[in-house]
Structure 1
Amino acid sequence: MKTAIVIASTLLITACSGGLKVTESDLQHHHWNLVAIDGTTINTNIKSDLEIGEHFSINGLAGCNRFFGSATLEKNRIKADPLASTKMACSPAEQEVEAAVLHTLSNGASVNNHGQQLELVGEQHTLTYALADWM
């Protein structure tokens, strides 16, 4: 009984301190919808999502343009390299979302995986995604 309490306490302390390592398999085969940038909910008319697939390929909708490429995950940091996207004209609001998404993915971000919520903390922006479904 004491052993179980010690183990549970250790896991809780590690989780609260951010010590749990996120692995590629934790993120692969999921579809995430962007819900907030820097803590501010995005306009529901703007659709932005992220999918992480086999071999850590990534794709999604940044704001109004589709993006695709590959990514790496090292020490709880995700970075897309190279990242390509379509080049359609966007509204100013879509462009703002798109710029935050592409900049954060391209320059790298710390990953906080909370199960139903994924947070990417970059140097300029924090992107918050909600789990949509399994791929």
Structure 2
Amino acid sequence: MFERRTMKALLAMVLCLSLLTACAGKKAVSEDAAMSDADLLAQLAGRAWVAEYIDGLPVVDMSHTSMVFSTDGKVKGTGGCNSYSGGYTLENGRISFTPFATTMRSCVPALNDQEMRFFSFLNGKLIVKFKSGLLYLVSEEGKPSIFSELE
């Protein structure tokens, strides 16, 4: 009797591990697959993206540094203190931004530093990736800014 239960439990564990491995493998393939610019734009546009990390560093809690992309090449949001708007170009999986128009409010030092880091990070061409529902903008040095979708 003991051997029969042990054998059933062992078979159940092997089956569960096989299913988990198969599911994990499928997820990794879809996340790592290269996306076309049209697919990237479909994921970016019409959503509000809020920064979790900027240039590899975590953001100030509740700072709401955000980006909202439109399908016509415009972007707007808040740097954490000041509102901004501008344009972007998406080409070959890389995004670049035009200079931004921003408000000029005075910020507390921590938010001011983060906002300057955010705007500085957005200079240059950034690789656009999606992983586990998060937006990754990655610099040529490999440092990411990571955004979650605001719901």
Is the structural similarity TM-score above 0.5? yes
Structure 1 or 2: more strand by fraction: 1
Is it true that 1:27 corresponds to 2:31 in the alignment? no
2:100 to 38, 61, 83: 83
Alpha-carbon distance between aligned partners in 2 of 1:106 and 1:48, rounded to the nearest angstrom: 16
Match of 1:70 in 2: 87
Contact 1:28 1:56 (C-alpha < 8 Å) held by counterparts: no
Contact 2:55 2:118 (C-alpha < 8 Å) held by counterparts: no
TM-score, normalised with respect to structure 1: 0.76
Which secondary structure does the structure 1 equivalent of 2:99 belong to? Answer: strand
Shift of 1:59: 0.4
Is it true that 1:128 corresponds to 2:139 in the alignment? no
Shift of 1:27: 1.0
Match of 2:118 in 1: 101
Unaligned runs of 5+ residues in structure 1 are 1-7
Contact 2:31 2:131 (C-alpha < 8 Å) held by counterparts: no
Is it true that 1:47 corresponds to 2:64 in the alignment? yes
Match of 2:73 in 1: 56
Shift of 1:70: 1.1
CA RMSD of aligned residues (A): 2.5
Structure 1 or 2: more helix by fraction: 2
TM-score, normalised with respect to structure 2: 0.69
Following superposition of structure 1 onto structure 2, how do residues 2-41 of structure 1 map, counting pairs within 5 Å?
Answer: 12=29, 15-16=31-32, 19-22=34-37, 23-41=40-58
Larger radius of gyration between Structure 1 and Structure 2: 2
Deviations 1:99-127 (A, max 9, x none): 12212223231111226211111246521
- Runs ≥4 residues deviating over 6 A: none
2:135 to 118, 124, 127: 118
